Amino acid sequence: MRFSYLTLVCLLIALAIALESFCLAAETQFDAVLVAIDGYMSTIDRPVKEYVVDEGLRLAESRGVPLIVVINTYGGYGDAMLEIVNAFLNSKVPIIGFIKERALSAGSIVAISVHILAISPHGIIGAAQPVMYNPVTGQVKFVNESKIINPILARIRTCAEARNRNVTAATMFVTKNLVLTGEEAVKVGIADLVATSVDDMLDKIRGWTLKIGKTNYTIDIERYEVLNPSIRVLVYAFLRDPTINSIFWFLGFFGTFAALLSGRVDVLPFTIVMLLLGLIGSGMNVNAIALALLALGSVMLAVELFITPGFGILGVSGIIALIFGLLMTPFISGSEIYTSSAVLESIRSTLLIVGSGIGGFLGFVLYKAIESKKKRKAVGFAPEKSGVVGRAIDRIEPGKRGFVVVEGEYWEAISDEVIEPGEEIEVVERRGLLLKVRKRRTESA
C-alpha cells in the first residue's frame, strides 16, 4: 500500500511537468484580457476580488495590455468592492468596463472606477445605498449611519473625479438609490457610451487614447483572451456559498459535538476537516486555512499509512483535507522565474483529478468493506438455532479456540471437550461471532 502511494505521487509530478510543457507551447498573444463579474461569479466578494484583481488585472499588467471587465451584478460585500476599486484606481493599464445588464450597489461603484465605461441599451446602474443582511432570518436593513455612509460617499466621489464622471449623480447612487438606464447614464456623464456587446464597444472605442502614469495607450483591440476563474477561485466561491457553507458548518460543529458526547472519537478527523472548510465561509484567511488543511491532511495520512492498520475514516479525511488544501493554496508566479498561469492551473487540475480518483477508489473500497461486514453479520443462523452441524478445521480443546465450517461459513469456536480436525461438530450456542460447539452426538450414543 505504501509503495502504491509513492507511485501515485511520482505519476502526479510527471503529469504536471508534461502539462507544463504543453501549456507553455500553447500560449497565444492577445491584445487584452477579459474577466466577467457574471453568472456564478456575479456576487462581489473575496473570490471575485481574487479573480478580477489577483488573476485578471495582474495578468493584464504583466502583458501591458488593457483589462476588459464585463459587469452583471446585483452587488456584494463592501470590503471586496473597496479592494477592487483601489486596484482599478492604481492600475498600470487601461480598464474597460461593459455593463451587460446591471451594475447595482457595489457593482455600480466598481463600474465608475474603470477608465472607459460602456453600458448596454437595456442595462442599468446605481442603487448603491449599503444594506445589512442577516443570513439567519434573511432580513435586509438599509444603513443610514454616517460612520458607514460617509466612507462610501468619499470613495464613490473619488472614483467619479478620477474618471471625470458626474460626481453629483454618483453621490445620488448612495444617498437616493438613484438608478439610471443606459441612455440616461451616458447623458448625465456616468457612462461613456452605449454598446450592444463587448465587440461593439471595442469597435466604437478603437482609436481612443488614454494616459496612465507616463504611458500613452491607444485602444486598438482585435483579439482578447477570456480569462476564466482559476480552480482555486471556483472552489473558494463554492465554499463561500451560503448553502454549502451551512452544510460544512453543520457537519463540522454538530458532528464534533455529537462525536465527543457519544465517545466516537474515531470520526473526529472527518468533523474537524468539515469544520475547517466551514471556516472559509466565515471570512477567515483562506491561505491560513489551506495551510492548516495541508498540515492536518499530511499528519492524518502519515498516521494511517505507518501507524494504524487498514484504511478508514482517518485516511479518507486526510485525503479530503489534502485535496482542498492543495486546491486552495495560492500558487503565485515568481518575479525571476516565469511560470505560465495555465501551468499552475494544469497542476491544480491534475491534483483534483488524481486526488479525486484516489479518494473515490478508497471510498468505494471502504464502502464495500462495510457492506461485507454488514452482510456477514446478517447471514448464518440465529443464536437460538442450536444443533446445526458442521466440521472442525482446527484442533479445539478447553481454553483453546479454533475454526469450524458451519453452513459454508468459517466461524471461530470454543468447546468444553477436545475436538480433532475433520470431526463433525454441532453448535451448542452462538455468542456474537463466536460459536460454542461439541462433538456431534449420534442416535446410538
Task: Quick: pLDDT tens for 367-387.
Answer: 555 565 555 544 455 444 567
The mean pLDDT of 250-278, rounded to a whole number, is 81
CATH code of the domain in which 185 resides = 3.90.226.10
| Residue 322 to residue 317: CA distance in whole angstroms | 9
- The model's confidence at residue 7, banded by pLDDT at 50, 70 and 90, is very low
When divided into structural domains, the chain yields a total of 3
- For residues 395 and 351, state if they share a domain: no
Residues 213, 237, single domain; the answer is: no
Q: In this structure, which amino acid lies at residue 54?
A: D
363 and 254 co-located in one domain = yes
Domain annotation covers residue 10: no
Contact of 155 with 110, CB cutoff 8 Å: no
Q: Is residue 323 one of the residues assigned to a domain? A: yes
Query: Of the residues 222, 256, 277, which one is the last residue of a structural domain?
Result: 222
Q: Which residues have CB under 8 Å from 125's CB, separation 6+?
A: 99, 102, 103, 104, 107, 108, 111, 119, 173, 179, 180, 185, 190, 191
Kindly state the cell numbers that stand for 167: 460626481
| 157 and 301 housed in the same domain | no
Distance CA 116, CA 62 (A): 20
Backbone angles phi, psi at 67, to 5 degrees: -110, 125
Last residue of a domain, one of 187, 222, 257: 222
The pTM of this model reads 0.65
Residues 252 and 211 in one domain: no
Q: Are residues 318 and 241 in the same domain?
A: yes
Domain that residue 427 falls in: 389-439
Based on the domain organization, do 121 and 264 belong to the same domain?
A: no
* Residue 25 belongs to a domain: no
Percent of the chain scoring above 90 in pLDDT: 37
Element at 322 (helix H, strand E): helix 313-328
Please tell me the predicted confidence (pLDDT) of residue 359: 56
Q: What does the pLDDT look like over 122-181, one tens digit per residue?
A: 999 999 888 776 655 556 677 777 777 888 899 999 999 999 999 999 999 999 999 999
Q: Is residue 283 located within the same domain as residue 411? A: no
Same domain, yes or no: 58 and 138:
yes
Segments of 84-148 assigned E as strands: 95-104, 116-119, 124-126, 131-133, 140-142
Pick the residue with more confidence: 409 or 329? 409
Residues 208 and 249 in one domain: no
For residue 434, the domain's CATH number is 2.40.50.140
- What is the DSSP pairing of strand 389-392 with strand 424-431? antiparallel
Q: DSSP label at 27?
A: -
**Alpha-carbon distance 252 to 279, whole Å?**
10
pLDDT of residue 90: 94
